Structure 1
Amino acid sequence: MRKESLVFLEKLLAAPSPSGYEQPAQRLFRDYVAPYCQVSSDVLGNVYGFIAGQGKDCPKVMLVGHSDEIGLQVKYIDDKGFLYFAAIGGVDAHLTPGKVVHIHTTDGPLPGVVGKRPIHLMDTKDRETVVKLEAQYIDIGAKDKKEAQKLVRVGDCITFESGFTHLQGDRVASRGFDDKAGSFVVAEVLRLVAAEKKKLPVDLYGVSSVQEEIGLRGGTTSCYTINPDIGICVEVDFATDQPDVERKHNGEVALGKGPILTRGANINHALFELLYATAQKDKIAVQLTANPRATGTDANVMQISRGGVATALVKLPLRYMHTPVEVVSLGDLEQAAKLIVATLKMITDRGTFVPQ
């Protein structure tokens, strides 16, 4: 991967961005794409990059990946200074005990740990029980409630400590690849398109959306604002090349074998075929998955925005989703950006995507 792109990806992943608290990551996205496109933001926090196409009345294409990640939020501070919290998005209660976290306060990040009763003091039955999130707590080392309240406010967001770790080959681990990997691909597409000598036949809007993890909110409002003819969502999907994932349900998906093209009711058939044919022509490896219903991604709300949008979903294989150690192949991210840019060059007539 290009050195500057990798540095941007690492910074993007490190920036705290639980749903509703995305702006540290969004500022990085804005700064990165600003040299390549017109940049704007909206009241919800979505960031838009725009590159005009060649000619008038070009088809409008919206490319979207969401910047928000799962996290926690301070709900209550007890008399001894321990913080009780709630989940932002789908947090697995199995994983939180014993984790180092950062509470993002007005004065900057504050470290803490999710405490847990020692195994020596637990009954056999308790050892086999998952402690509910509302019964877990964070220890910041405060001596009492008064001291804790000087440092933390109810409503402060919390992220898990997680560094960017290089594994074997081009595989890397971090928290937040769901879906900063998608936001990164959107940024890379804007960069690659700007570098082209010839303008695209489409008006391109690259969006880093917000609040996807709590209800596809940014995808809904940004699509309504742009009113695109064509939409491509870039998301992550469950890799099934780990030992404990059922392929019969989730399909056959592996890291390092290229981006995933989804098929199903959420996907415009003609747009899927264009992506697939482009991949074949340019010798870009792709994988296929099937989803007969709504996909639970920004692609779902794009498709049914206003009078309807021709929508496709390009996914990135991901292991260990919604953990602090999500794993991807950097090559899959690069190939996704390459495929999308190549496909954009092939779009000339918005009527192509109206079913006949």
Structure 2
Amino acid sequence: MNNYLYSINSDSIKFLEKYLNEFSPTGDESEGQKIWINHISSYVEKIQTDLYGTAVGIINPNSPYKLIIEAHVDEISWCVNYITEEGIIYVSRNGGSDHQIAPSKIVIIHTEKGLVHGVFGWPAIHTRKSSEEKSPNIDNIFVDIGVSNKAEAMNMGVHVGCIITYPDKFFIMNHNYFVSRALDNKIGGFIIAEVAKMIIENGIDLKFGLYIVNSVQEEVGLKGAKMISKTIQPNVVIVTDVTHDTYGPMIDKKIQGDVKCGLGPVIGYAPSIHKNVRELIISTAKNRKIHFQRLVSSRYTGTDTDAFAYSNKGVLSGLISIPLKYMHTTVEMVHKKDVEQAVLLIFETLQTINNNKSIFH
């Protein structure tokens, strides 16, 4: 039995940084998806995409047995919803964008004429009466692009429906933490691409078809996963996504679970997670001495696992998550060690399946 090792190298960091920094808002994921496709194309035999932009890299495409490892590419954003006569822009959510972090953030509006910069403004503290203090909410946050009226804004290409994103960039904090917007769930796309890379670099002869899937539109209802599952009709799916680190302030572990960055990937328990897949992942982790954590989702996981599990005639589905701090903000954080252990756990799980294909029967 080979003792495989994995650590993130400088080339992988370059890919991760480029991938995270590119925009891929829900419904318009193409630019981020291009970077992922270009990277993974070196490690797969075939690439395919569907009408809405989900990308699939395939190893051993002619096998009757089909196993998916999956992440999602889309990131949360905003949309222009209303422009006042004074040129102030009000927004609607595109995914689960957090209104409380918006004030004072720089934004980019994507228009047919190019990118337009703006800011989420907020009244100065001097002008607010304590008796009338208001908290940011979806009804009162607004974007200022430095125009005097609606006509100026529209002449710049801004109109209802334009997507608004944050420009915040990737960086590494104290050698251990990756910090970026869109780690939910581009870190998953990075992980599954690294798994494909490990398979090729270690000369693994897969006995099943491996479909490395980067889905679109997860943030608005798992829609990309629903579509691609019908296309591929897999036998088994292993989804990777993020979950909450619960050791930060104001989080109740009794409700949110006991999960901490740096202690390993998280193996999920939920109705959509099939016991056989979960136990196979757990036994692999124990046999290979890979540290892991556990998390219960009582009704649904809120990830693409739910879409795959109940698609077609039912698909054996499992979930491996990465602990994440500050989800749906521009400073999401994951621990480097958790990412490395997740890559190794998925790779070793595929090895376990390769040596005993009973999961397909």
Alpha carbons 1:271, 1:353 under 8 Å: kept: no
Task: Give the CA deviation at 1:351.
Answer: 4.9
The aligned counterpart of 1:122 is 128
Task: Give the CA deviation at 1:143.
Answer: 2.7
Amino acid at match of 2:18: K
The aligned counterpart of 1:91 is 97
The aligned counterpart of 1:334 is 340
- Provide structure 1 residue ranges, at least 5 long, that are not aligned to the other structure: none
Alignment of 1:141-152 (within 5 A): 141-151=146-156, 152=158
Alignment equivalent of 2:56, drawn from 32, 48, 51: 48
Task: Give the CA deviation at 1:162.
Answer: 1.3
Distance 1:125 1:200, change over 3 A: farther
Q: Is 2:220 aligned against 1:190? A: no
Corresponding residue SS for 2:218:
coil
Q: TM-score, normalised by structure 2?
A: 0.93
Could you tell me how far apart the structure 1 residues matched to 2:280 and 2:201 are? 23
Task: Give the CA deviation at 1:59.
Answer: 2.3
Query: 1:173-210, CA deviations, whole angstroms, 9 ceiling, x for partnerless residues?
Result: 11111111111112111222222313112210011101
Task: Give the CA deviation at 1:102.
Answer: 1.0
Alignment equivalent of 1:10, drawn from 14, 17, 42: 17
Query: 1:48-72, CA deviations, whole angstroms, 9 ceiling, x for partnerless residues?
Result: 000007xx74521011101111110
Query: 1:50-95, CA deviations, whole angstroms, 9 ceiling, x for partnerless residues?
Result: 0007xx7452101110111111011222222222211111122211
Could you tell me how far apart the structure 2 residues matched to 1:157 and 1:96 are? 15
Amino acid at match of 2:19: L
Alignment of 1:228-307 (within 5 A): 228-307=234-313
Task: Give the CA deviation at 1:105.
Answer: 1.9
The aligned counterpart of 1:325 is 331
Corresponding residue SS for 2:101:
coil
Alignment equivalent of 2:144, drawn from 136, 139, 145: 139
The aligned counterpart of 1:210 is 216
Could you tell me how far apart the structure 2 residues matched to 1:353 and 1:270 are? 11
Could you tell me how far apart the structure 2 residues matched to 1:220 and 1:198 are? 29
Q: TM-score, normalised by structure 1?
A: 0.94
Task: Give the CA deviation at 1:135.
Answer: 2.5
Alpha carbons 2:65, 2:360 under 8 Å: kept: no
Task: Give the CA deviation at 1:353.
Answer: 6.4
Q: Say what the alpha-carbon RMSD is for the aligned residues.
A: 1.6
Amino acid at match of 1:310: L
- Provide structure 2 residue ranges, at least 5 long, that are not aligned to the other structure: 1-7
The aligned counterpart of 1:33 is 40
Could you tell me how far apart the structure 1 residues matched to 2:349 and 2:109 are? 42
Task: Give the CA deviation at 1:289.
Answer: 0.9
Corresponding residue SS for 1:134:
coil
